[in-house]
Chains A and B, each alone.
Chain A
């Protein structure tokens, strides 16, 4: 059987890629994609911890399902806000949204 640590390393790598995307990309939609990658890394963590511990306790799986639901809600609100910004400013580049500084 594949050891647990492989899954954890995969999740950590995915999380880091997502975080890198969020911090480096300037397009708002790409930033939201990065957040989604991070959330999926969390799900890999949760499900693999569940599988390698007590399989009869459902906590890990339930937690992962709740994370899906919340991620969907978050992204739908996120895209709605991206559209509202695009309508008023005609851009989705995060750097251009600088009406307010300091």
Chain B
């Protein structure tokens, strides 16, 4: 039962668990003003875990371990590395949050959620999958409502919980019916049983609808996106960044494996449904982002739109499609965390979150303004940043699968996106603070922010320029699905 390959397959999760226990042990001994050190411990530990996993936990041939609960392959492994990277960056950003950063529980909840996301990426059984999704979600409900003194935060946590439990319960109902009609919960066996055609297309369509509601909520695709702006605005900014990147990517990790491996029999219906959802998601996300005045709500709607672009790769239902989704998420995680990190760094000093508050940032902190430019240009899909290459691959997959109309919708939407991203940069670079000398209002960065933001900027530029190794990893992962 416990052979070396079993340990190798869950090595990242073991390390995360050990890290969580270490925080539990050390945190009570630290004084109030030292507790932010838990952030260094979390971030350092996660980077160490990434390195150890790369050295000792690399998957070979795809194998089913732990009684078929977990699939040990490159797709899951690459997703795990992405989640742990996002977790480390979030921990660094969380450190200097004046209330949440001084509480050891915040880091522990982050790690618990990360554990669930890692398992979401590798689950090959519906029981495990449901358990992993809930392990990832429940700590995030608490983190969103973490600031008890802040009415917006408690409201955000509450709304997230209500919508989240409803969506996951509807999805669970779908899982129970899939189990009933196929007689198995193993995703890799479901396909064989459904391929005999024992189930009517109408019923299949109903099952898909139930599952898409649950996963659509996690990925924040229209029409299951309405929680996203409220929750992102209300929850602590680093948590919002984590929600919009890792949590969304985990939803995609599940949808790719479940639909490509488990439900290829119904591919004609789900590609059509997801193509329609993708077009609506891009359009609604971008159009609703246009009138926003709060920067976190703007980023929330932009993240809704990005889920639409990434869905094009799922719709393509090909190896290139799967690889492009994984690559898109890698670029998007780095870019969006960078954007949220800058919003966090800015509001920590000034306490402001409106777009018009960013006037004259280029003079108040030129370095930060430059990083913000990189983040927003990457979100808009400009070379040489990650967002550009990622969009190219996704659109290429769409064209290859004869979804040209969807790609055209995507390109039109990218153009709308450029407008509102550059609109923010207009305030940063072109406008000045009225009647003030900007030099007297600097926006300093603390050491943890500097490290996190510089690492993320390097990530965004690396993914956009030296993209070959990242794409070959994504492609190796995608190969495991076919």
Q: Which residues of A contact B (CB under 8 A)?
A: 8, 15, 19, 22, 28, 31-32, 35, 38-39, 41-42, 45-46, 49, 53-54, 59-60, 62-63, 66-67, 70, 73-74, 77-78, 80-82, 84-85, 87-89, 94, 97, 99-102
Contacts and interface: CB of A to CB of B under 8 A. Distances in A.
A21 to B, nearest CB: 11
30 contacts: A19-B170, A22-B162, A35-B165, A35-B169, A39-B169, A42-B169, A45-B177, A46-B176, A53-B180, A59-B127, A59-B185, A60-B179, A63-B176, A66-B130, A67-B130, A67-B172, A70-B134, A74-B138, A74-B165, A77-B161, A78-B162, A81-B154, A85-B154, A88-B148, A88-B149, A88-B154, A89-B151, A99-B152, A101-B230, A102-B229
A65 B160 CA distance: 25
Contact of B158 (A19, A42, A62, A85): A85
Contacts of B145: 81, 84
B162 A31 contact: yes
Contacts, number: 112
Interface residues of B, number: 38
Interface in B143-166: 145, 148-149, 151-152, 154-159, 161-162, 165-166
Given A45-B180, A67-B172, A100 B131 contact: no
Contacts of A49: 176, 179-180
B173 interface: yes
Task: Among B138, B156, B161, find the residue whose CB has the most chain A CB atoms closer than 10 A.
Answer: B161
A62 B184 CA distance: 12
Contacts of A78: 141, 161-162, 165
Nearest to B294: A100
A83 B173 CA distance: 28
A73 B159 contact: no
A59 B159 contact: no
B131 A66 contact: yes
Contacts of B148: 84, 87-88
B179 A59 contact: yes
Given A38-B170, A63-B130, A66-B127, 16 more contacts: A31-B162, A32-B165, A35-B166, A41-B173, A42-B172, A46-B176, A49-B179, A49-B180, A53-B180, A63-B185, A67-B172, A70-B134, A74-B161, A77-B138, A85-B154, A89-B151
